[in-house]
């Protein structure tokens, strides 16, 4: 998978060379290209923002650097749908990112992330980007960040680990929170007693059927307590 990131703070993404995603890049599974949006701003101060038409607080990102940057990383030649990139703009006004979104995006050959700052990006950039690929405005949740960088890093990590070969043991992907629509069951390791706290007996029983049933029940108990929204009848996946 190729991933292009456009940002005025490219060094934010240095952390993605660490650990699992760093190895995936070394192995050629992920081709991550982080670019400074100011490379496409050509005035003396390499300006990327300006005051909003109609007035209002803050600054808006100018369309010209975005247009040139998108032409370069998303290609301006017409291409069949399957070859066009998916262009993602993190935005608190976007659809909410979930494990399902991560699974969808992990099947794409080319992702482009446009990281906005200030009060937003000139709306015409989103319209223009739709000529180059499939545009999605995506939010991590109902809170506001200072820019799209941290949201983009979270999405790249969630998507990257679903690419075949990135996570060493693919079985570890299926037992996680959200993969079956429930929160994960609690985990324990040695010692069996720690600071007067015992590991639940059943986990030491060797009865694999009983352990599986107990874990399922724990998933339901936790999900009911912490995330009842996940159990809402109209949305819950069948289990
Ligand atoms: C993108 N907040 S995504 C740009 N939750 C600016 C703020 C922001 C995003 C999010």
- pLDDT tens per residue across span 177-191: 888 899 999 999 999
Tokens of 76: 């301006």
Q: Which atom of ligand 1 is nearest to the CA of 151?
A: 3
| pLDDT at residue 17 tops 90 | no
Q: Distance between CA 72 and CA 31 in Å, rounded? A: 16
- Conformational region of residue 206, where left means phi above 0, alpha means psi within -120 to 50, and beta covers everything else: left
Select from 66, 97, 146, 148 the residue to mutate for testing ligand 1; criterion: most ligand atoms less than 8 Å from CB: 148
Residue 45 CA from chain centroid, whole number: 32
Q: Which atom of ligand 1 is nearest to the CA of 140?
A: 5
3 contacts 33 by C-beta, under 8 angstroms: yes
Dist. CA 88 → ligand 1 center (Å): 12
158 contacts 99 by C-beta, under 8 angstroms: yes
User: Per-residue pLDDT averaged across 4-18, rounded?
Assistant: 95
Tokens of 175: 């037992």
Q: How many DSSP H helices and E strands does the chain contain?
A: 7, 9
pLDDT of the residue at 236: 64
Dist. CA 91 → ligand 1 center (Å): 5
Question: 57: number of CA atoms within 13 Å, CB side?
Answer: 1
Helix spans in the chain (H): 19-26, 63-74, 99-105, 124-129, 149-160, 171-174, 208-226
Q: Is 54 exposed, middle or buried (0-12, 13-18, 19+ CB in 10 A)?
A: exposed
Q: Which of 133, 128, 130, 113 is nearest to 7 (CA)?
A: 113
Q: What is the pTM of this model?
A: 0.94
* pLDDT-based confidence at residue 24 (cuts at 50, 70, 90): very high
Q: Distance between CA 23 and CA 31 in Å, rounded? A: 11
| pLDDT at residue 195 tops 90 | yes
Q: Distance between CA 169 and CA 43 in Å, rounded? A: 50
| pLDDT at residue 224 tops 70 | yes
Pocket of ligand 1 (CB under 6 A): 90-92, 116, 139-140, 143-145, 147-148, 151
| pLDDT at residue 103 tops 80 | yes
Dist. CA 175 → ligand 1 center (Å): 30
Helix then strand then coil, in percent of the chain rounded to 5, is: 40, 20, 45
User: Per-residue pLDDT averaged across 114-127, rounded?
Assistant: 94
Contacts for 186-192: CB closer than 8 Å, 24+ residues apart? 186/218, 186/222
181 contacts 216 by C-beta, under 8 angstroms: no
| pLDDT at residue 109 tops 90 | yes
């Amino acid at each position: 998978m190729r991933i292009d990131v456009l940002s005025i703070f490219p060094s934010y993404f240095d952390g993605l060379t660490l650990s699992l995603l760093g190895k995936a890049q070394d192995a050629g599974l992920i081709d991550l290209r982080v670019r400074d949006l100011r490379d496409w701003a050509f005035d003396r101060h390499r300006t990327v923002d300006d005051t909003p038409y109609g007035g209002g607080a803050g600054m808006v990102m100018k369309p010209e650097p975005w247009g040139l940057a998108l032409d370069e990383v998303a290609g301006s030649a017409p291409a069949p749908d399957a070859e066009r990139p998916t262009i993602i703009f993190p935005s608190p006004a976007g659809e909410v990112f979930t494990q399902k979104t991560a699974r969808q995006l992990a099947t794409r050959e080319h992702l482009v992330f446009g990281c906005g700052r200030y009060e937003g990006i000139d709306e015409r950039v989103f319209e223009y980007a739709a000529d180059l690929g499939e545009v999605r405005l995506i939010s991590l949740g109902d809170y506001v960040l200072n820019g799209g960088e941290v949201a983009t890093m979270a999405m790249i990590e969630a998507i990257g680990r679903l690419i075949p070969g990135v996570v060493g043991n693919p079985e570890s992907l299926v037992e996680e929170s959200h993969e079956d629509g429930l929160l994960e069951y609690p985990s324990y390791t040695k010692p069996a007693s720690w600071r007067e706290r015992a590991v639940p007996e059943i986990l030491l029983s060797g009865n694999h059927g009983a352990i599986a049933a107990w874990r399922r029940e724990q998933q339901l108990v936790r999900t009911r307590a912490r995330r009842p929204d996940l159990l809402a009848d109209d949305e819950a996946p069948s289990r």
